Structure 1
Amino acid sequence: MAISDTARKNHDELFPGRVSTRAVTDPELIEYSDTFAFDALTPGARARSRPTSTSATAASAVPAP
């Protein structure tokens, strides 16, 4: 099983130039996990080109004293 084209495209948008070290040591695991995370979970959805910071999002949800 190879990583799907959609999964590869979404991964590259989110993590440009990033190659997992696990792709070398366990390529089958990466094929399954990347296809699941970047294709199966996002049918019809566009990947964000810039992930939001969870700390900034959480901080904005807390009311000021």
Structure 2
Amino acid sequence: MNLNLRQAVIQRVTDKDNEELFGVIEDSIGGQEQVLPGLGVLFEIIWQHSNPDTQAQLVSTLKQHLT
């Protein structure tokens, strides 16, 4: 994933309110594979700004749904 993709995703969601961000995520999940890198960028931002407890919960949720 190159920096241009990150910048494009960030620009797309900058200045959106919570409802709009929710919609972007909901519309992307289960959609075309082309949107998966964008979700990755959003997850990266969430991960980088989450505390260790939240990160552990995210990993736990992921693990529960992979088995």
TM-score normalised to structure 1 length? 0.29
Determine which structure has more spread, i.e. the larger CA radius of gyration.
Answer: 1
Which structure has the higher relative contact order (CA within 8 Å, separation 6+)?
Answer: 1
- Give TM-score scaled by structure 2 length: 0.29
